[in-house]
A and B are shown apart, each in its own frame.
Chain A
Amino acid sequence: MLSRVVLSAAATAAPSLKNAAFLGPGVLQATRTFHTEQPHLAPVPPLPEYGGKVRHGLIPEEFFQYLYPKTGVTGPYVLGTGLILYALSKEIYVITGETITGLAVIGLYIFGVKKFGPSVAAFADKLNEQKLAQLEEAKQASIKQIQDAVDMEKAQQALVQKRHYLFDVQRNNIALALEVTYRERLHRVYKEVKNRLDYHISVQNMMRRKEQEHMINWVEKHVVQSISAQQEKETIAKCIADLKLLAKKAQAQPVM
């Protein structure tokens, strides 16, 4: 609307602009920009944690504060009493059977609230707390899981650093095994060769022994053959004579 005023003033000032007045609102709307600021729904303003303070469960505290400068502490109470008495005495509020029932209901309600209020409030708080605890537990479990994964990863990395010990031991083992196998084979070769050589030696020994025996037998045979019967008789008679002499010597000796 202001734009029309401006444009009509401009039209009177400069007659060439008179026809521009028709374009006025359109121009203004075209030049008005939208969405220049953030939308105001975010950040969401935080909810107040506690409700406003009330006195006697009905009247806000601000009312008492409002009347305090003029009427002090008892002001609102006097006002309330006066209003009630006015309503009663002028029969604006008529006391009927409903009044009694109403008083009984309100009395019962106040009794109920005073008696069960805190426990119900604690129950409601517990409900909320349970929800939060569930989520918190999920969060903690997730954190713990990730932490455990990180720790295990670190441990694995540390183990990887020490892998070379394993390789050294394995290398040593293999070298020892190779050495043992080599020596074993060497020993076997030695044994085989010695076996063959011993065979030849024993063959030679046997041959020599056989030759010796054969020679002895041959010599004995010929000696025995060469002893004639006469020589044998003489030898036997000499032996008997020697034996007799020896017997005599032997007899003689123990007597002494």
Chain B
Amino acid sequence: MNQNLFASFNIPAILGIPLVILIIMLPATFITPTNNLINNRFSSLQQWLIQLMLKQMMITHSTKGRTWSLMLMALITFIALNNLLGLTPYAFTPTTQLSMNLGMAIPLWAATVLMGLRFKTKLALAHFLPQGTPVPLIPMLIIIETISLFIQPVALAVRLTANITAGHLLMHLLGDTTLTLMSIYLSSSTITIIIIILLITLELGVALIQAYVFTLLVSLYLHDNS
């Protein structure tokens, strides 16, 4: 057993040199751009996936919003690959670190807000007041909307961190449980193994979905403010 349950979330270091940069750069090595028309199966599938995500996500945006396509596609690919690679045993997942998620969320969210304030000031400010509110409620509602606006980046980052961290924690816990139960009561450890398998399936889904949700919300903020 590790020192504590959270040891796997420590930043890996060799002799004090943090390796986290290399770990963050690793998923990029799996995306292989080519100039050929006909590629091997791996590249063809990657191309098809990115085209699918692109069409699905950028179709609702205007021309100005579509200038963000590269950013958003890179974002979703990065987060999805990081999450998926974190499922392998003994892997470190960068997206479990709040620092990284905040570093992704705050600039993107701020960019959308500033863009909206700069180009469509009235429309962006009008988002603070939903239509059809009774007049006495207006001051309170504006305060609430402002708070909800400023919570958006924090929510983005914390959502991602919490989901991935929770999943990893559960997997570690169940693994330890199974190991301990194997010497005590074998059949219940088979039950825990089955639970682990189900959990891994869930984790796969969560990994992809969280990436999708992150990117979708950023694109939503963009759509509001483009």
Contact = CB atoms under 8 A, between A and B. Distances in A.
A131 B38 contact: yes
Interface string A97-116: 11111111111100000000
Given A97-B1, A128-B38, A104 B45 contact: no
A256 B65 CA distance: 150
B2 interface: yes
Interface in B1-37: 1-2, 8, 36-37
24 contacts: A47-B40, A51-B40, A95-B179, A97-B177, A97-B179, A98-B8, A99-B175, A99-B179, A100-B175, A100-B178, A101-B89, A102-B88, A102-B89, A104-B196, A104-B200, A106-B89, A107-B197, A108-B201, A120-B41, A121-B41, A125-B41, A127-B48, A131-B38, A132-B38
Contacts of B179: 95-97, 99-100
Residue with the greatest number of chain A CB neighbours at <10 A, chosen from B48, B176, B196: B196
A139 to B, nearest CB: 14
Which 9 interchain pairs have the tightest Cβ spacing? A102-B89, A97-B175, A97-B176, A124-B41, A101-B175, A100-B175, A100-B178, A104-B196, A124-B44
A105 B179 CA distance: 15
Interface in B22-72: 36-42, 44-45, 47-48
B37 A131 contact: yes
Interface of A: 47, 51, 95-108, 120-121, 123-125, 127-128, 131-132, 135
A104 B193 contact: yes
Contacts of A105: 87-89, 200
Contacts of A127: 44-45, 47-48
B172 interface: yes
A100 B180 CA distance: 11
A98 B172 contact: yes
Contact of B172 (A97, A103, A121): A97
A103 B190 CA distance: 13
B196 A124 contact: no
B174 interface: yes
B208 interface: no
B83 to A, nearest CB: 13
B170 to A, nearest CB: 10
Interface of B: 1-2, 8, 36-42, 44-45, 47-48, 87-90, 171-179, 193, 196-197, 200-201
Residue with the greatest number of chain B CB neighbours at <10 A, chosen from A98, A107, A120: A98
Contacts of B1: 96-97
Interface of B is mostly: helix
A102 B90 contact: yes
A96 B177 CA distance: 10
Nearest to B39: A128
Nearest to B177: A97
A123 to B, nearest CB: 8
Contacts of A125: 41
B192 to A, nearest CB: 8
Given A95-B179, A97-B175, A101-B196, 4 more contacts: A102-B90, A105-B87, A105-B89, A107-B197
Contacts of B200: 101, 104-105, 108
Contacts of B173: 97
A128 B44 contact: yes
A110 to B, nearest CB: 12
Nearest to B47: A127
A207 to B, nearest CB: 111
Nearest to B38: A128
Contacts of A107: 197
A154 to B, nearest CB: 36
B34 to A, nearest CB: 10
Contacts of A120: 41, 45
A104 B178 CA distance: 11
A131 B36 CA distance: 12
A218 to B, nearest CB: 125
A48 B87 CA distance: 32
A215 to B, nearest CB: 122
B49 to A, nearest CB: 11
B180 to A, nearest CB: 8
